[in-house]
Amino acid sequence: MTAGGVVGVLAGDLVGMLRGKSVPASRLDSALEGGVGWIPANLCLDPFGSIAANPWGPLGELRLRPDPATLVEVERAGLSPMRFALCDLTEPGGEPWRSCPRRALRSVLDGLASEHGLSVTAAFEHEFELRGGPAVAGPDAFTFQPICATAGFASRAVEALEQIGLEPEALISEYGPDQFELTCGPAGAVEAADRALIFREVVRECARLEGLRASFVPVRSPEAVGNGVHVHVSLRAADGADALADPDGPMGLSSIGRRFVAGLVGEAKAVCAMTAASPVSSARLTPGRWAAGYAFAARANREALVRVIGDPGEGTVRIEFRAADATASPYLSLAAILGAGARGLAGPEDAMPPCHEGDVGKLDAEERRRLGIQELTTSAVGALEALGSGAAAFDWLDRDLLAAYAAVRRHEVERLASRPEPEVYEEYAAAY
């Protein structure tokens, strides 16, 4: 790593942000060896910098322990490089802290491996907006003109992501005004969640250097096109075979795949309380927005909560969870998805999730009931209710961490309850 300057020593929090400290580059080795001081309550900051009531208050001592595998260095012409590393939150002696979100994801992965012999590969697919330039994308969905109009950003972002090994695959001018999607390659589950946080930080910086502002806000107004984070998950058996695929199974899914998806769809409300629980998230999760207004599975229906993608004959099946956004911790989002799927694996061999390839919004309530299709939660208050009533769905989660998460989300709702709706959306757009 280049000498000089500072290095961010950062940890992912409960609301999808990186927070921490910076150290002189000359002290990075010391930080890698012994960590940097931190406190438990810092995990409970809301998106606007206010600390919610939490299980720890002013008590306790932690260390931010950088993971050397996550060290990032992005060159910036005329400036020192942008450097940071992601951290585990540990006890002062180096023991894992039980409420660390990164550790929570590892606990779910350990359970899938020990109980079912399964490993996970994942990818987070982000949509975002670029604002602030004189000629940013207009109403030119999926055309090349918006890419040309933001050529400085496009080149800078792709080169930076390639430089740090995130494997950028495609840059798309999306459906909404000023909206883009930039996809990156898959990785092991913890690394995939790390990549999601790194991606957001690097994209924001690349935009800033071009005089633009990138925002991953779920929606800028109730009528606006939403910015989702689609989470792609593959499962592999101990022998490396695709555990989701069966060419002869319904939807091309194996028994494991059907039970996993059934568990995920069955606990959709509780899962969404982790993946899309901010006060502005629910506006995106409504029918007709190509997001997910209802809990069901499909292959070619982009209104489904879960899409089954890939060729079962070639062993390339993965699932795409469509009800996540960037106001969520990628560690907790992926852990919630995997935890619900793991609970589904305890179901009967012939379990099958509710499926529909048509427009679910055109079905009447009775027909949706017959098919077992639930409507998703449509408010932050509803998400909190689902969080409380779905406690069994979070048996993988440390109780203090669950209490802290609920407190932060409740704090957000209460803080914004009396604010005019346009202000609330703009605050989230600025924060993310």
Q: Which of 35-49, 121-135, 292-306 comes out lowest in average pLDDT?
A: 121-135
E strands, 211-254, are 213-215, 229-236
Residue 333 or 79, more confident: 333
pTM of the model: 0.95
pLDDT on residue 132? 84
Joined together, the tokens standing for residue 143 give 């055309």
For the ranges 29-43, 125-139, 287-301, the maximum mean pLDDT occurs at 29-43
Q: How far is CA 129 from CA 54, 169, 175, 203, 298, in A?
A: 33, 18, 11, 11, 28
CB-based contact 325:294 (threshold 8 Å): no
Q: What is the Cα–Cα distance from 111 to 90, expressed in whole angstroms? A: 21
Give the count of beta carbons closer than 10 Å to the beta carbon of residue 374. Answer: 17
- Look at residue 10 and tell me whether its pLDDT is greater than 90: yes
∠ CA 338-296-348 to the nearest 5 degrees? 60
pLDDT on residue 150? 85
Looking at the chain, the whole-number percentage of residues with pLDDT higher than 70 is 97
pLDDT on residue 1? 54
Question: What number is the average pLDDT over the span 20-26?
Answer: 96
The alpha carbon of residue 325 and the mean position of all alpha carbons in its chain are separated, in whole angstroms, by: 6
DSSP state of 137: -
Percentages helix, strand, coil for the chain (3-state, rounded to 5) are 40, 25, 40
∠ CA 173-176-182 to the nearest 5 degrees? 35
Helix (H) or strand (E) holding 256: helix 255-266
For the ranges 95-99, 362-366, 385-389, the maximum mean pLDDT occurs at 95-99
Domain annotation for the chain: domains and CATH numbers: 6-99 (3.10.20.70), 105-392+404-431 (3.30.590.10)
Question: What number is the average pLDDT over the span 284-292?
Answer: 83
Question: What number is the average pLDDT over the span 201-227?
Answer: 93
Burial class (CB in 10 A: 0-12, 13-18, 19+), 182: buried
What does the pLDDT look like over 92-116, one tens digit per residue? 999 999 999 999 999 999 999 999 9
Q: Is 336 helix (H, G, I), strand (E, B) or coil?
A: helix
- Look at residue 268 and tell me whether its pLDDT is greater than 70: yes
pLDDT on residue 391? 65
- Indicate the residue type of 231: V
Which long-range contacts does 357-366 make (Cβ < 8 Å, 24+ apart)? 357/298, 357/299, 357/300, 357/301, 358/301, 359/303, 360/287, 360/293, 360/294, 360/296, 360/301, 360/303, 361/287, 361/288, 361/293, 361/294, 361/303
Helix (H) or strand (E) holding 72: strand 72-76
- Look at residue 149 and tell me whether its pLDDT is greater than 90: no
4: alpha, beta or left, given left = phi > 0 and alpha = psi -120 to 50? left
Q: What is the Cα–Cα distance from 89 to 102, expressed in whole angstroms? A: 8
Which long-range contacts does 314-317 make (Cβ < 8 Å, 24+ apart)? 315/241, 315/242, 315/245, 316/242, 316/245, 317/234, 317/242, 317/244, 317/245, 317/252, 317/253, 317/257
- Look at residue 140 and tell me whether its pLDDT is greater than 60: yes
pLDDT on residue 148? 87
First and final C-alpha spacing in the chain: 28
- Look at residue 2 and tell me whether its pLDDT is greater than 60: no
